[in-house]
Chain A
């Protein structure tokens, strides 16, 4: 009898031995989504693009702003502003311009471009991977999201183009092992053209303001960004023919064409008849102008 029990115990052990094996290792993490999942669900893809929105940064919501790198103020938490103010900026010490609180105009916007390019590379897969009965709705949503992504990329490029001039033109995400150094810096002209092209793509996909959720890119916003960057590009700073090289401005600018492009872009926004200058409740245009002037002139009014 005793022996019998022992043999039973032994066989239970052996059973456990053969069944336990290595199944416990076959597990995926539970606190994150696998890549395939994100690119087969339009809602998850949308959430990924939300991060690109977040990374835009406004420059208004942090305690370090541009006044901190001017002679007007002394920024008490410093954050490297002293390096700039004292004229000690070097390529290896960018002072405040490496600070995350200045990411709305510094190279950290390239992180966002990588996110946007990853999104653009994968968004078409989402529609393919969506179940047939939901595919059409996903397709419509994907097109709008794509438009938003083009706008966000144009916005990031516009911010950096105004700070640095010409930039590498990136339309695909980088991966591990790519030839990173093979990417050349684009000229100022190429960069502006790229921004304009993204704005046009965005405008063609995006809906007017009334049909978009507040806070998202709209058709009007895409056209306005185009107008703004073209106006900047046509200005004396970059288009008066004195640019040192092709990276900081136009080398042989056709000034008329540039002004015309800027004008047409502005006109396109105006012609939407969706936007007008705010009158802040003033009776006439002159009063508006005066109010605006006073706003900045009156001492201690804010």
Chain B
């Protein structure tokens, strides 16, 4: 006889078929990944189905909510939604995430698609954040907030997730889970605050990728790069996802290399990565200092840009180390420096 399980149990109702077991094992996999203390139990007794008012199987019960999985072409989508529903009740536990701010522009959409592929490859989930800013009157300074407007923003975000959080490729459950949140306030502040979440491994922001236009890097992206508490990956508008294999990392000295390497490997692992560390110095002979390739050039930006253009890496990495040469470059003309890499993703380590 089925007894009401502990509140933290997920019951998967079914007939013991491979489909039933697939549902259980999929939920188990994600629950483990999130580090949640939730037991997944199977029930094959018809009396249990009746007692729990299960109309068709496979079905899932968790915290008094019953989710019936669809048996037609939407099976994987409904299983994916069920997994999300279970995890969301525990705020996704310890699952680590890639944070992607979205304003529904093409630039931010590209950051999302790129970030989603990366999250799928790295086994992370995606958290989309849309920041809604209430209108402030210029004259009176009063803040006008219409809850209806933020509801519209929330609906827009939900529709976006509903459309794109499904099985995209051949690996039906392999894609990263996507969750979203609408925050109220100023985008730069709110996004930066969200990067303080210890579960956030990386922020992915988009750029127009057009170096000649003034807003190559929007003020929000710029502020996030400056203030984020985690690495920021900057994706040009036309840069499509490719698995990262070749990296050029800018370093100031040989001493920087272990830190930069650690930052890269924390995200991408170490297998199959080809990392070249480079530094630009004036009045020195170009050559190697251990793992550091030293380039000679008066204009560091130009020298770096030319080198990257010649070598076409999959990713450029810059460490925003305090008081470093690279930081001074960034402070002097941040957007200009990123603009020179307008077609290649740039990872900014902090």
Do A and B belong to a common assembly? no
Please report A residues at the B interface, Cβ cutoff 8 Å: none
Please report B residues at the A interface, Cβ cutoff 8 Å: none
